């Protein structure tokens, strides 16, 4: 029997294309098309987001965010996809669940808009709480973890605080997933330190989701001799190596851009592990196609 690989959460960012003058319809249509492609490639969850959280990014208005994500969620949920909404706003989470989302992925873990926790509790949605310290405009000025004795202990302690608040708001413990928040208030090597110490997050007793895809710590790792970081589109091989190590570490899920490559890497990982376990067999497709509840 092959071991269970992590769930693959495919990223669908519905953020404006500055080269496009086609208006919202074109963006919606393109995003839905992209989501369908990721679903066909085997994504277990589609994560729809309307706010860019890249370092330095400014926030969209509430109405803009709703406009971006709700029609895309409605279309993909109607297709039967397990849809997650990547938002920090209670109103967006509520509308997204109404449109068919079953997971609320909040990069702020309820810190940006504490009302989101009541929405999650009332709707019974699954909730991904990521480690976060500040909005993207300023987040890289909060990378000091000395008060906790380092990034691993700091992320663990701050996530533990969030767990307390999330459960106190009425979110069911079996609905909660934690995420260490790679790249969010973490500088270069702190991301590796956190990955190496991931057990400390797992020890909090909840499933763990990790998003490493295309992030700048991979660009820095692969930098040229002159220190120029490797471009965003040329980080996938390093990311896939990380994905297989995360599978070994037993993470619940990985949040990725390239679903097909990730599924291929995890298929090879499962097959290798199945042979090590005493009998090769075709990968356990049922296990890889489970929804978020499985
Ligand atoms: N990273 C980004 C956005 N949303 N959600 C979770 N749970 N974990 C992450 O690491 C995460 C996230 C930023 O990455 P992107 O701009 O490539 O989507």
Structural domain contains residue 293: no
Q: Is 267 helix (H, G, I), strand (E, B) or coil?
A: helix
> What pLDDT score does 54 carry?
77
Atom of ligand 1 nearest to the CA of 257: 17
Is the alpha carbon torsion for 213, 217, 223, 226 positive or negative?
positive
Residues in the chain, overall count: 294
- The predicted model gives 65-73 an average pLDDT of 97
CA angle 125, 164, 159 (to 5 degrees): 90
- The predicted model gives 260-271 an average pLDDT of 97
Is position 102 annotated as part of the catalytic site? no
Position 21 pLDDT exceeds 60: no
Q: Is the CB of 211 under 6 A from ligand 1?
A: yes
Structural domain contains residue 53: yes
Specify the pTM. Answer: 0.92
The C-alpha atoms of residue 40 and residue 10 are separated, in whole angstroms, by 11
Q: How far is the CA of 172 from the centre of ligand 1 (A)?
A: 23
Parent domain of 274: 7-288
Candidates 31, 52, 53, 194: which one to mutate for ligand 1, based on the most atoms within 8 Å of Cβ?
A: 53
> What pLDDT score does 25 carry?
66
Structural domain contains residue 294: no
Q: Is the CB of 103 under 6 A from ligand 1?
A: no
Asked if 132 contacts 147 with a C-beta cutoff of 8 angstroms, the reply is no
> What pLDDT score does 19 carry?
45
Q: How far is the CA of 20 from the centre of ligand 1 (A)?
A: 24
Position 288 pLDDT exceeds 90: no
Q: Is the CB of 105 under 6 A from ligand 1?
A: yes
Structural domain contains residue 42: yes
- The predicted model gives 15-40 an average pLDDT of 79
List, for residues 216-226, the tens digit of each pLDDT value. Answer: 999 999 999 99
How sure is the predictor about 57, in pLDDT bands with cuts at 50, 70 and 90? confident
List, for residues 130-152, the tens digit of each pLDDT value. Answer: 999 989 888 888 899 999 999 99
How sure is the predictor about 271, in pLDDT bands with cuts at 50, 70 and 90? very high
Q: Is the CB of 247 under 6 A from ligand 1?
A: no
Tokens of 134: 């500040």
Position 294 pLDDT exceeds 80: no
Structural domain contains residue 231: yes
List, for residues 220-258, the tens digit of each pLDDT value. Answer: 999 999 999 999 999 999 999 999 999 999 999 999 999
The percentage of residues in the chain with a pLDDT greater than 70, rounded to a whole number, is 90
Position 277 pLDDT exceeds 80: yes
The percentage of residues in the chain with a pLDDT greater than 90, rounded to a whole number, is 82
Candidates 7, 35, 86, 210: which one to mutate for ligand 1, based on the most atoms within 8 Å of Cβ?
A: 86
Q: How far is the CA of 282 from the centre of ligand 1 (A)?
A: 32
Structural domain contains residue 1: no
Is position 273 annotated as part of the catalytic site? no
List, for residues 149-185, the tens digit of each pLDDT value. Answer: 999 999 999 999 999 999 999 999 999 999 999 999 9
Domain count, the chain: 1
- DSSP per-residue codes, 177-216: EEE--TTSS--HHHHHHHHHTTHHHHTTSS-BEE--TT-H
> What pLDDT score does 31 carry?
96
> What pLDDT score does 3 carry?
82
The C-alpha atoms of residue 222 and residue 157 are separated, in whole angstroms, by 31
Asked if 112 contacts 165 with a C-beta cutoff of 8 angstroms, the reply is no
Provide the mean pLDDT of the chain. Answer: 91
Q: What is the CATH number of the domain that holds 53?
A: 3.20.20.20
> What pLDDT score does 218 carry?
98
* Residue that the structure tokens 């690989």 belong to: 5
Structural domain contains residue 233: yes
Q: Whose CA is nearest to atom 8 of ligand 1?
A: 211
The C-alpha atoms of residue 23 and residue 137 are separated, in whole angstroms, by 26
């Amino acid at each position: 029997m092959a071991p269970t690989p992590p769930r693959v959460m495919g990223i669908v960012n519905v953020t404006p294309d500055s080269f496009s003058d086609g208006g919202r319809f074109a963006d919606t249509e393109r995003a839905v098309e992209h989501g369908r492609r990721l679903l066909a490639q085997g994504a277990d969850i589609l994560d729809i987001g309307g706010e860019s959280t890249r370092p330095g990014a400014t926030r969209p208005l509430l109405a803009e965010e709703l406009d971006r994500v709700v029609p895309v969620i409605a279309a993909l949920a109607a297709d039967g996809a397990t849809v997650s909404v990547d938002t920090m706003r209670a109103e967006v989470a509520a509308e997204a669940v109404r449109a068919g989302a079953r997971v609320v992925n909040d990069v702020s873990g309820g810190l940006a808009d504490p009302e989101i926790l009541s929405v999650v509790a009332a709707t019974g949605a699954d909730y991904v709480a990521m480690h976060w310290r500040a909005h993207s405009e300023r987040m890289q000025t909060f990378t000091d973890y000395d008060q906790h004795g380092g990034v691993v202990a700091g992320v663990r302690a701050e996530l533990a605080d969030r767990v307390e608040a999330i459960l106190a708001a009425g979110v069911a413990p079996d609905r909660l997933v934690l995420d260490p928040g790679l790249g969010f208030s973490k500088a270069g090597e702190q991301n590796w330190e956190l990955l190496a110490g991931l057990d400390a997050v797992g020890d909090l007793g909840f499933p763990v989701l990790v998003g490493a895809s295309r992030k700048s710590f991979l660009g820095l790792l692969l930098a040229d001799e002159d220190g120029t970081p490797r471009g965003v589109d040329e980080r996938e091989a390093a990311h896939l190596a990380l994905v297989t190590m995360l599978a070994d570490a037993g993470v619940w899920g990985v949040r990725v851009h390239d679903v097909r490559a990730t599924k291929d890497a995890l298929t090879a990982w499962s097959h290798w592990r199945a042979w090590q376990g005493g009998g090769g067999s075709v990968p356990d497709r049922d296990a890889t196609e489970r929804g978020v509840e499985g």
